[in-house]
Homo-oligomer: A and B are copies of this chain.
């Protein structure tokens, strides 16, 4: 970690540095690079057809994103995410998602409300059909809507950070066929609370929603991820 939470987004997708940044980010999150793998500037720059300069700048940003660790004069290494890290993030998120739901209750716009309803309705359909891929996508989007609705740039960004960061692990957990539909049912309840302007209920439901996701993850996917982590350390 390392910085100071009112962070800026890396929106520049058009400069070479921006492209390198986003592509490396994608590759790391998707698992193309193993944890603790060393990223060499020349190799990356040749692979992407650019010079070292934009690669280095992208590295600096990825370091602050927590995706790589740079050891001075040595190299850049893909950071591992430990079991404890993931657990901690879920606990922290449970608090912040609660706060987010509270604020969303107070600030959500009619348009956002409508998109949320559509999201839950659509997800229900895909859940019944067993479309796990679409379900995962809608799950992500539901939370994004919530983040935007809370009307706090700070909190929104904070949560998006966490959300994206645990995606590596989360992919595994949501592919658990049981959790998807359950998760969406919880979304529906959160949405109802927001609709009824019951901020207390929305907060506690959103909080519990994260705790449930956490419990599910501990039971299923996390062990697998942890084993992989251990193996890499051998």
Contact = CB atoms under 8 A, between A and B. Distances in A.
Given A96-B95, A99-B91, A63 B2 contact: no
A64 B1 contact: no
A66 interface: yes
A128 interface: no
Contact of A155 (B4, B14, B92): B92
Contact of A57 (B2, B5, B57): B57
B96 A66 contact: no
Report the contact-size class of chain A (Cβ under 8 Å from the partner).
Answer: 35 or more
A58 to B, nearest CB: 8
A154 B56 CA distance: 25
A176 B2 CA distance: 30
Contact of A84 (B2, B91, B152, B162): B152
Interface in A66-121: 66-70, 72, 79, 81, 84-85, 88-89, 91-92, 95-96, 99
A233 interface: no
Contacts of A5: 1, 66, 89, 158, 161-162, 165
Given A1-B158, A92-B99, A158-B1, A64 B165 contact: no
B165 A4 contact: yes
A70 B6 CA distance: 14
A7 interface: yes
Contacts of A8: 1-2, 63-64, 66, 68-70, 79
B4 A66 contact: yes
Interface of A: 1-10, 12, 14-15, 17-18, 53, 56-57, 60-61, 63-70, 72, 79, 81, 84-85, 88-89, 91-92, 95-96, 99, 152-158, 161-162, 164-165
